[in-house]
Structure 1
């Protein structure tokens, strides 16, 4: 845990697809910590360190008993607050000794199970950044997850960085020989980052030609309350909108769990159509990104370097380093406008 910026643990992280959490406990890993998740009969959620304090057996190997989780070894049971409620073998009427397992804050939102190590009292979707809370109900068209051998900050930068798309996704997202000037506005605050791109209503790649129409807005979002999450928002002249949201939750220093969603607003795009016609292209883009970010991570480890040379073109890196580097320096709030060739 010492390799992480201490403030990161107060953030909210998706750790599992909600539909996969059924009647059996599930183990997930975040920041190198094993956590057991369970959906209680009442519909509530339980998230505890995956370790019985008695003999350290994984609680994820246990079972639900009413509103508690029972360890399979000696039958100790624990509630959602982490407090031990039963120790089989005690004399009738004897008080259960005070035993506690570390409990995580947990809630379900937009098909994902979210967790945080922050103190109790904020376990609700209202704790998430506004760009996540405003996604229209029923607009999600797919939810996908996979594992990358990469650092979260590098994966986030890759998703938010338009300058790599000409070379990593040539002809698919953008074409290197079709660059055009764009006005870029970067707004930073204590809550996060917003980047607006103006001056390019049409994009040069195949994805745009197949599935999009003239844009009126291209915007990137990053919020410190959910520091592993970023979103690309596209709005169109016909009144429709697309929201690509990626979550890069760290399992440990070099393994990042990716959750990806696509939300569609005011446009015909049933889930089956997205799955059969759009998803093959998006998957190809994701695989191209995975390969380059995993190569970056492996080479950084080989040379023992996590830093890199940045210029003003690296729009989001200062904010990401402020959040993710162990000794990250806060960035100054404000707005700047610049020109880029995209």
Structure 2
């Protein structure tokens, strides 16, 4: 997969576990003195990161009562996160072919958006990172349930049906159903108008265009969107988005429908695509790209979301998005 960049080693991580005046002010309702005494009794003189994490839990959740304190420790002891910290390893499931979330034959420092995010989270926890390859969401969910993986990061769109199998974090990226349509399938401009793609900015702009045929990954959020918005159009479904794209390139369909980040990745990887295809990327329906976790493990999810909040606050998450979805430096060099 290639080695991780310096993204996970930035200054953001230096004071993550420090108890400062600012930290205290963020949790004004806590009974701080009682918490410190309790933690001191637990961790002794040389606290480890896992023990400091318990302190983090208490700071986030306690309201000053002993029952709330006991609940905090009970939730931690039953969390998958406790096992991860004890084993010293975070196992992250993902699809290695889902570029640029993961990059095959990656250049040094460009292993993929979700690879870097997962590695950064492992560094935050102070444990080793291990990538566990799977291809489908159901495989991610089964791996998490069977404790073959701890979380899944793979450009996953959350929805109600999927939430029956895993617990989703807050979104770390916001996508939309998007399209890559052959320019030859679009109507010609009015006579005298030199702008050939004048009003085609979102997939909804194809609603009144006849002859558009869609290729999409089956049972995805985009498939559901097409069935709702383009019920009278011809829709070809495939087991994965790459197969749908191959169908469009071969002429079986003339419009690929995927999430906006996938299409951005295609355009960055092969700039010649833009000569024959029109990208339609404007927002039509919010799609949350989220991490998948074991169901019911609120402690684990809250810890990850705190990590995400810090990435967002520091601007690191935005920098990572720009690195993979607005620039093409990650594109592997083709070897003869």
TM-score, normalised relative to structure 2: 0.27
> Greater strand percent: which structure?
1
- Give the structure, 1 or 2, with the largest relative contact order (CA under 8 Å, sep 6 or more): 2
Counting helix residues as a fraction of each chain, which structure ranks higher?
2
